[in-house]
């Protein structure tokens, strides 16, 4: 990207998300983890999908949510041990994948490292950084709490962009329903909308191609080729 452009993305963390997430942040100079936002049940914060002989199935980190209806993502605590169970599911379903011998031990080490963490946000950040490193993304990853973000929704996003010195803000398309583009335009920041894909398909385990799974699927099936396949064609 041009040296006079600073492109920033601001997204809540997810548990080992799909390749489109890494495509988005890989187009940016800086990715801000928006985990001061409210936690949403049955979202991607604490779960994702892997391929199995029965189709795409969830693997979920158990978290404490009872009577905590407005807690922030960075306040969410993990309720019980989970990492060994997730590793067994990954190992069972991907042990015949071409690059399991290369990436299986790495993923096992990652899960062992996060398995003792108490907070969901710390787990997600560690794994996001690990995958971004494997994909050789040159994006600086920061937390929103490192900045003095103010306001709500568009105002808060704008204040975070201003704090980073952003010239461009790259957003996922779902934000079109609420983002105030005029607010950014008046502040001299260009709003860009991410278009996911088209992404090339690749050989997967267990039947027909399924794009909406964790990026672990891409790493285990494609290995070093994942670097190119995690980008828009």
Note the Cα 175 to chain centre separation in Å: 16
Query: Domain coordinates of the chain in residue numbers?
Result: 7-229
DSSP conformational letter for 67: T
- Which residues have a Cβ under 8 Å from the Cβ of 103 and sit 6 or more positions away? 134, 219, 220, 223
- Tell me the C-alpha distance between 98 and 13, whole Å: 29
Query: Which residues, listed in sequence order, are joined to residue 59 by a DSSP beta bridge?
Result: 48
The model's pLDDT over 30-58, given as tens digits with 9 standing for 90+, comes to 999 999 999 999 899 999 999 999 999 99
| Beta strand residue intervals within 18-91, DSSP E | 30-33, 47-52, 55-60
For 110-132, the pLDDT digits (tens) are 999 999 999 999 999 999 999 99
According to the model, what pLDDT value does residue 2 have?
Answer: 62
Which pLDDT tens digits describe the chain residue by residue (233 residues)?
A: 667 899 999 999 999 999 999 999 999 999 999 999 999 998 999 999 999 999 999 999 999 987 777 899 999 999 999 999 999 999 999 999 999 999 999 999 999 999 999 999 999 999 999 999 999 999 999 999 999 888 888 999 999 999 999 999 999 999 999 999 999 999 999 999 999 988 999 999 999 999 999 999 999 999 999 998 877 65
Q: Tell me: cis bond preceding 168? Omega within 30 of 0 counts.
A: no
């Amino acid at each position: 990207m041009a040296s006079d452009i600073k492109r920033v993305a601001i997204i809540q963390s997810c548990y080992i998300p799909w390749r489109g997430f890494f495509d988005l942040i890989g187009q940016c100079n800086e990715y801000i983890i928006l985990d001061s936002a409210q936690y949403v049940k049955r979202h991607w914060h604490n779960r994702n999908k892997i391929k199995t002989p029965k189709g795409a199935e969830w693997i979920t980190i158990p978290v404490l949510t009872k009577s905590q209806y407005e807690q922030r993502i960075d306040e969410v605590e993990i309720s019980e041990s989970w990492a060994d169970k997730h590793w067994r599911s990954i190992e069972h379903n991907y042990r015949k994948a071409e690059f399991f011998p290369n990436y299986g031990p790495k993923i096992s080490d990652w899960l062992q490292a996060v398995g003792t963490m108490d907070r969901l946000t710390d787990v997600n950040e560690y794994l996001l950084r690990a995958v971004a490193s494997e994909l050789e993304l040159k994006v600086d990853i920061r937390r929103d709490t490192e900045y003095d973000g103010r306001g709500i929704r568009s105002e808060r996003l704008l204040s975070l962009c201003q704090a980073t010195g952003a010239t461009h803000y790259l957003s996922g398309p779902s934000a079109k329903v609420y983002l105030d583009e005029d607010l950014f335009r008046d502040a001299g920041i260009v709003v860009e909308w991410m278009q996911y894909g088209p992404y090339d398909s690749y050989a997967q385990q267990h039947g027909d191609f399924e794009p909406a799974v964790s990026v672990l699927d891409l790493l285990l099936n494609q290995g070093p080729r994942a670097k190119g396949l995690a980008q828009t064609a």
